[in-house]
Structure formats: C-alpha cells, structure tokens
Amino acid sequence: MSPIQFVKSMGLNNAAMKIASGMNVSEAARDVGYQSASQFSREFKRMYGQSPRQWGNETRIPVGLI
C-alpha cells in the first residue's frame, strides 16, 4: 500500500466510525477532508463494498454504547 493509499484508507476509516456513531454522511466526508461527496462515496464503496449510507444503516452504534 502506498503512503497516499494508507492516508486515504485512514480517512475513510475515520469517516466510517463517524457515520456509525450517527454523523451525517456528507458531514463525515467534509470532516475527513473530502470536498466532493461523490468522490467520497465512490472511494468509500470501493473500500467497504457498499455506499456510506447503506454501511451506516447497517452498522449504527447504539447511543448508549458511545
């Protein structure tokens, strides 16, 4: 994995955790440095195999566990 790929995967992982904790997908994308929501969605889907919204709906962390 190249350094750029590593940094990108860390950002996507960070965004995934934010989405799982209830943050809006576009807000999480901006938080980790994406200016384009479509670019974020494409890269997220490539890494996780589903859209950020689908992933968030399936992995939502219950509020009491945060």
| pLDDT tens-digit series, residues 2-34 | 999 999 999 999 999 999 888 999 999 999 999
CATH number at residue 14: 1.10.10
65 pLDDT above the threshold of 80: no
Q: How far is CA 14 from CA 3, 18, 33, in A?
A: 17, 6, 11
> 46 or 62, which is more confident?
46
Q: Read off the amino acid at residue 23.
A: M
Helix (H) or strand (E) holding 29: helix 25-31
2 and 12 Cβ atoms separated by less than 8 Å: no
Give residues with Cβ within 8 angstroms of 19, minimum separation 6.
25, 28, 52, 55, 56, 59
Domain count, the chain: 1
Domain ranges, residue 13: 3-65
pTM of the model: 0.81
Question: Which residue's entry shows tokens 């950020």?
Answer: 52
